[in-house]
Structures are given as structure tokens and as C-alpha cells.
A = this chain, B = another copy of it.
């Protein structure tokens, strides 16, 4: 029977879900697992604060517990909200896009830089990186000072590139992570422009799920 990866957008904005569903399209292969991107209906319109993130933990967990048809789960919000509670609640592998993103980036360079939306995001990310135990390999996080919507637009590219160059030149990053679920469209272009590997976290997490599911 065809296996299934369930990628859950913890906010309730379906445009975001569609965005990353497109971004992971190349991972949908004949004979491979379904990659189903869904929107958490109980989620807020956008996850902008820790409070927003906390509020989706239980709905996420309940959704995973209900979806026994899934073979792996991806939490598609860069805060990885509820990742540990979900991992303990279901017997299937659960991936978080921040965790998968930074581990993928660390396989392409020595010191990773993160392009974050703004200071509030960085504030949430830094303790998580310390908890992952990899702070010695973080070059820096730098803020775009853009909203989620702005960051997804083609128009944001010059600013994304500017921040990427600062991470490379001032913080000595040699591998970059896009620090939000909706910036995949900039990945390839940024990689070409800045000359460093760039990781989109949702793509990274779904790749990780893909391999895990194929090998189970």
C-alpha cells in the first residue's frame, strides 16, 4: 500500500500550505510515498509569537494521533512547535523543519547562518539551537525584518540576498538556512547568487521523512 507523509502547517493559512506543497513537489515520485500537505484548522492565521506556537501543540498532537494512516509527520513551522510531545504521542517518526533544516545545512558546511524573519523569531530560535547542542557551529542568525508574507514574495529577494551576504562576510557562515517555512522560492536563486549551499527547512524535513519512510 502506498505510504504517506503528512506535512502539517500549524497555522490556518492555506496559502502557506500550498506554498510548501509546491516546494516539495520534486520529492513526489512514482512509486514513492504520498506527500500530503494539510492545514491545521485550529491554528492561528500565522504563528508569530511563542504563545501562538504553544497553542498549536495539543491540536497538532491530537491530529497526529488521529491520523493513523500516516507513516511519518512533518511539523512545517520553523519553531518546531510541540515536536517532543508529538514524538512521544505517536509511534511514527516526527520531523521538525528547524531541526531537519539545520542538520541538513551542517552536512553542507562548517558554520551555519540563519536568515530569520525578525528579532522575535531569533529570540525563539537561539535557545532551541542551544538545546540541540549545536551552538558551537552557529555562525549567526540575522533578521530580514520582514513579515511572513513579505518574505515569500519575489520582491524580497534583494533583502534576502543582502542578509545572506552579511552572514557570509561578517559572521563567516559557509552554509545557510532559510529560517521560515515560506521562503523556498528563494533557495536556488540565492544559492547561485551567494555561492553557498542554501537549505530550505521544509524541503529538508520532507526529504528526511521520505528516506525514513522508504526504508521502514
Residues of A with Cβ closer than 8 Å to B? 26-27, 29-32, 50-51, 54, 57-58, 85, 88-89, 93, 95, 99-100, 103-104, 106-108, 110-111, 119, 122-123, 126-127, 130-137, 169, 172, 174, 187-188, 197, 200, 203-204, 206-208, 210-212, 214-216
Contacts and interface: CB of A to CB of B under 8 A. Distances in A.
Contacts of A88: 50-51, 54
A175 to B, nearest CB: 11
Contacts of A211: 27, 104, 203-204, 206-208, 210-211
Copies in the complex: 6
B172 A122 contact: yes
Contact of A93 (B130, B172, B197, B215): B197
A172 B119 CA distance: 7
Residues of A contacting B: mostly: helix
- Shortest beta-carbon contacts, A-B, top 7: A207-B211, A110-B127, A103-B103, A30-B30, A133-B136, A29-B29, A131-B131
B103 A107 contact: yes
Given A54-B85, A134-B134, A137-B133, A215 B26 contact: yes
Nearest to A169: B119
Taking each of A111, A203, A211, which has the highest tally of chain B beta carbons within 10 Å of its own beta carbon? A211
Nearest to A203: B215
Contacts of A134: 133-134
A88 B132 CA distance: 21
Contacts of A216: 188
Contact of A208 (B51, B107, B127): B107
Contacts of A187: 215
Contact of A29 (B31, B119, B200): B31
Contacts of A29: 29-32, 214
Given A29-B214, A93-B108, A135-B136, 16 more contacts: A50-B88, A54-B88, A93-B107, A99-B106, A99-B107, A104-B208, A111-B126, A119-B172, A122-B172, A123-B174, A130-B131, A133-B137, A203-B215, A206-B211, A208-B208, A211-B211
